[in-house]
Amino acid sequence: MGTPMSIELAGEFPAGGATLTRTYAQPLPDDVAATFAYWDEVFETWQAVPTSISTDRRSVTADVDHFSIWTDFLSGSQQSLTAIRDSAAKAGQAVAEWTTGAVNTASGALHWSLGNIFTKRVELPECDLPTPAWVIDLPVGVGVDDPVRFCAGYDKANPELLVVKARANRGYGFPAVLNVQPVWEYNSTSENSIGKLLEQVGSLDQAVADATFQLLNEGRFVGAGEEISFGIPASSLTDFTNEYLLEMRLPSVAQVLMSTVAQQLAAWGASKINGTLAAALAVANCGSSLAGVTDIGNGAGAVLGCLRSADEKIAQMIGLALLANGMQENAAGKLAGQLVGKISVALALMPAAINTIDYIAEMTLPQNARSLTISAAEVTAPDPDEPWLITAEGVGPIRLAHVEEDFALVRERRYLCSGADVAWAVAGGADGNIGGGERGPWIQISAVGEVTGDVAAPRTASGITIGTTLSELKAAGFYSNVDSEFWWSSVDGVVLTAYVTNTSGGAEPQVTSLVLGSDSLGAYDCG
């Protein structure tokens, strides 16, 4: 990068503009892009202008509409940039030491580090294993250079939920398409707040606000190196017929430009949400200039040209979004202008980015390289009239292995009791014991009213439930050391204890409580 210099002209500036040219000591390597930029004293930022490189790659030229403080920026591989710096120094040209990433004011050299920031490689996202039992197969690749890196597991707060995560492994982002309805979702790119912030922009230009929302895939656009995650219930896969569970689609040219610039703004100090909003608003406002554009270089040039003519309007929109995000008016206005300037520099230098190479390769990949498939057990909607089943795993949706979490879930959903009347209740715990036996998890079902044969209480596969008679209990293989109220059996190896009490009127004793596992600490009354 050359040293910034003040260019002045005695007299009036030519009506037809002027041309700036810089000639380098050696031809610029093919992987290097260049742009002229001027120092905007109002917003204290550099503003890039469209710049062309000569056929011999020795000179760069720009048509400008004013003289002020100007400099040239270069972007490319570290090896190429170092070679340019060294050859310039040998030729006696004034150069700034910018390969160290120093940031200075316009009076010296100003460098926003480029190089590898225009690309991105990330680690695998982290999931809690294993996936829920209803997931039969969900293959996840682990290639370090895959465009998207996935993981799958379960939700600790709700273990029956499948959790899938996708992380963009490029310097640009991807629109996510989930083909089922999740219980929850989170996008680290925008922290789920894009829609709220764009409402403010809509007061100025609703069409641009809507276009920005679409560019961001209605909040499901995953930025460079960012991550989106979903909590998926088994019920959402009822009648599921899609080829993919989660797709990370090929981004459009506009989305590549937007997400690459957003990543660069974050690298230059903007917050993630501010950088994303600014980049998205700039590109969305210039959407018409991208009609028919299919490559990144031409797209960047088109948006840069649009930015020059609409910079004030775009800065105003960005300022409104920043206000909605909690900034003070003066600070929002100044930052908006600075962001527009930095966007111009990023766009001008983007043709040399590794992203351009990545995107060309991306267009040849099949969709399955960026997608997750799933094979799940057949899911049918539960019948509310069917009683819960007592198995070795637990009672209905409450599992011994996750008794505390499952209880919290069913209590929250008011899903503890069955039947028209509250005639039974369920309780449980993770650490109990009975008769001095081993401590462990337990689940108890107890009668809380008059026992009748109509109570749809939980039951074993053989029909043992609240209201079962003592003779039926004995016939099912339950035993007692003495003829007492406690009778024992097992469900696939898990102890099931029945508590039997006498009934009024001389009828046969009946089961009024069942305990699966260890101890009972008292029933939870659903009423």
Q: What is the pLDDT of residues 375-407, one digit of tens each?
A: 887 655 555 567 788 988 888 878 787 777 667
Taking the C-alpha atoms of residue 305 and residue 428, their distance in angstroms, rounded to an integer, is 67
Q: Tell me which of 97-111, 152-166, 183-197, 318-332 is least confident.
A: 97-111
Q: Nearest Cα to 340, choosing from 377, 296, 306? A: 306
Residue 527 — very low, low, confident or very high, per pLDDT cuts 50/70/90? very low
Close Cβ partners of 397 (under 8 Å, ≥ 6 residues apart)? 160, 388, 406, 409, 410, 415
pLDDT at res. 257:
94
- pTM value > 0.85: no
Task: Map residue 74 onto helix, strand or coil.
Answer: strand
Residue 57 — very low, low, confident or very high, per pLDDT cuts 50/70/90? confident
Taking the C-alpha atoms of residue 458 and residue 450, their distance in angstroms, rounded to an integer, is 16
Residues 220-253 have pLDDT tens digits of 999 999 999 999 998 888 888 899 999 999 999 9
Mean pLDDT of all residues in 136-151: 90
Task: Map residue 497 onto helix, strand or coil.
Answer: strand
pLDDT at res. 30:
77
pLDDT reading at 410 higher than 80:
no
Residues 123-132 have pLDDT tens digits of 899 999 999 9
pLDDT reading at 80 higher than 80:
no
**Identity at 254, one-letter amino acid code:** A
> 105 or 65: which carries more pLDDT confidence?
65
Mean pLDDT of all residues in 458-486: 85
Task: Map residue 124 onto helix, strand or coil.
Answer: coil
pLDDT reading at 316 higher than 60:
yes
> DSSP letter at 437?
-
> 116 or 13: which carries more pLDDT confidence?
13
Is the separation of the CB atoms in 448 and 423 below 8 Å?
yes
Looking at the chain, the whole-number percentage of residues with pLDDT higher than 70 is: 75
Mean pLDDT of all residues in 476-491: 81
Residues 422-445 have pLDDT tens digits of 467 777 777 654 444 456 788 888
Residue 349 — very low, low, confident or very high, per pLDDT cuts 50/70/90? confident
- Token pair belonging to 16: 């037809």
Residues 192-219 have pLDDT tens digits of 667 666 776 676 678 888 888 899 998 8
For 5, 13, 68, 73, the CA distances from 8, given in Å and listed in that order, are 10, 10, 6, 20
For 21, 296, 302, 352, 364, the CA distances from 292, given in Å and listed in that order, are 31, 12, 11, 21, 19
Close Cβ partners of 1 (under 8 Å, ≥ 6 residues apart)? 71, 72, 73, 74, 95, 96, 98, 109, 111
Mean pLDDT of all residues in 30-42: 77
Taking the C-alpha atoms of residue 160 and residue 178, their distance in angstroms, rounded to an integer, is 18
pLDDT reading at 174 higher than 90:
yes
Residue 414 — very low, low, confident or very high, per pLDDT cuts 50/70/90? very low
Q: Nearest Cα to 316, choosing from 341, 333, 338, 335? A: 333
**Identity at 7, one-letter amino acid code:** I
pLDDT at res. 415:
45
Q: Tell me which of 30-39, 58-67, 210-219, 329-338 is least confident.
A: 30-39
Mean pLDDT comparison of 88-92, 405-409, 468-472, highest-scoring range: 468-472
- Token pair belonging to 128: 């809690």
> DSSP letter at 56?
T
Query: Average pLDDT of the chain?
Result: 78
pLDDT at res. 284:
92
pLDDT at res. 374:
92
pLDDT reading at 455 higher than 70:
no
Looking at the chain, the whole-number percentage of residues with pLDDT higher than 90 is: 20
Taking the C-alpha atoms of residue 240 and residue 293, their distance in angstroms, rounded to an integer, is 36
In the sheet that holds 371-372, the strands lie side by side as 221-222, 174-178, 246-248, 371-372
Mean pLDDT of all residues in 304-321: 87
